[in-house]
Amino acid sequence: MEIFGLSPEQLNMIIGIFTGLASIIILFLIFWVQRGAKEQMLMFRWADQYQKHSEFIARTIFDGWHKGSGVLASFNYDANGLSYKEPKEPEITSADQARRHLEYGYPSIWNLYKDAMKESVQLSNQMRALMGSYMQAIIVNLSSTCPEYRRVEKWSSPMKTRIIYSPGLFGAVLHAISNRLKGMYPGSFDVNTGETEVLDDQGRISKMVVTDLTFAGYYLGRGDEYDIEKLKFAVQNLILKQQITKMVEEYQRLLMMLQNSEKANQLDREVRSLLGRVLAGEKLKGTCDLCPPEPS
């Protein structure tokens, strides 16, 4: 019996051809789906690895480049004198990789960092020059009012001179004037008397009752009661001296400029914001040699 003019043998052959084609198509579709699923799995795995890498590098960027990390120059004056810190490269794990992501992935933040660093160095250099002039002005004033006084950096036993003053005197005057300019109590003197050994010009050691003078916690000097009264009077004059006061005003101005630098504060906000966005799922821009390779 013929169907559509085709013999049974011809129909079976056509059905066989279509069945074979259908099998090939089904196998191709299965292969394509499996391949797509594998590629998708690889992409998911890569995305997870890259997100972990992004979070690690973003934390490194924050740790290495936030305002207090040390990448900006800084200064301060305390009882030990002027402390100045040069800006330094971050010394943390994967700092080089973090720098590449920051420099090439976020050029605006990188340029902000360079501007903030340049500003901090300029302010710190101005501060160092100012405090050098400040200390010299105090030394000149003390030399004219108390020429017999000698400055010592470290105490020796026995004392080689009877009348000495300490580097703490510079900090005490700065502290007192700063407080006075802010309308605060400048501080007060404190004296303590005790016995110590003194070495005279002939190299002979003798016992001597000496008085130590401090001001607001700053050690000023040592001598007998007359010496200390004279030193106290000299320090009081320094605190009221207009030349010294103007230098302290400039010190406060430079200190405020450094502490309130908009560039430094903006840099801090930017690296904090970047860390927050990456932790929330944002992909980190830029590349480095630690970046997981994207599936091809």
Q: Is residue 204 part of a domain?
A: yes
Q: Is residue 75 part of a domain?
A: no
Q: Is residue 70 part of a domain?
A: no
* Confidence class for position 240, pLDDT limits 50, 70, 90: very high
User: Is 229 in the same domain as 265?
Assistant: no
Q: Is residue 238 part of a domain?
A: yes
* Cα–Cα distance list, 291 to 39, 46, 55, 68, 248 (Å): 19, 10, 12, 27, 51
Higher pLDDT: 247 or 91? It is: 247
* CA distance linking residue 213 with residue 219, whole number of Å: 6
User: Is 138 in the same domain as 151?
Assistant: no
> What does the block give as tokens for 274?
């970047």
Q: Is residue 1 part of a domain?
A: no
* CA distance linking residue 103 with residue 256, whole number of Å: 29
* 70: CB partners within 8 A, 6+ apart: 85, 87, 88, 90
User: Is 31 in the same domain as 116?
Assistant: yes
Q: In total, how many domains does the chain have?
A: 2
Relative to beta strand 164-165, strand 150-151 is parallel
Residue 296 half-sphere exposure, CB side, CA atoms within 13 Å?
A: 0
User: Is 55 in the same domain as 129?
Assistant: yes
User: Is 122 in the same domain as 242?
Assistant: no
User: Is 140 in the same domain as 267?
Assistant: yes
Single-letter residue type at 9:
E
**Structural domain containing residue 179:** 147-251
pLDDT digits (tens, 9 = 90+) for 148-161: 666 655 445 445 44
User: Is 21 in the same domain as 50?
Assistant: yes
> What does the block give as tokens for 81?
């004198």
User: Is 120 in the same domain as 32?
Assistant: yes
pLDDT at 34: 57
Mean pLDDT of 119-130: 93
User: Is 16 in the same domain as 123?
Assistant: yes
User: Is 178 in the same domain as 237?
Assistant: yes
Relative to beta strand 205-215, strand 189-199 is antiparallel
> What does the block give as tokens for 21?
């084609």
Q: Is residue 50 part of a domain?
A: yes
Q: Is residue 222 part of a domain?
A: yes
Q: How many CB atoms lie within 10 A of CB 142?
A: 20
- Percent helix, percent strand, percent coil in the chain, to nearest 5: 60, 15, 25
Relative to beta strand 164-165, strand 189-199 is unpaired
User: Is 132 in the same domain as 36?
Assistant: yes
User: Is 135 in the same domain as 26?
Assistant: yes
pLDDT digits (tens, 9 = 90+) for 1-39: 545 555 666 656 666 666 766 667 666 555 555 555 555
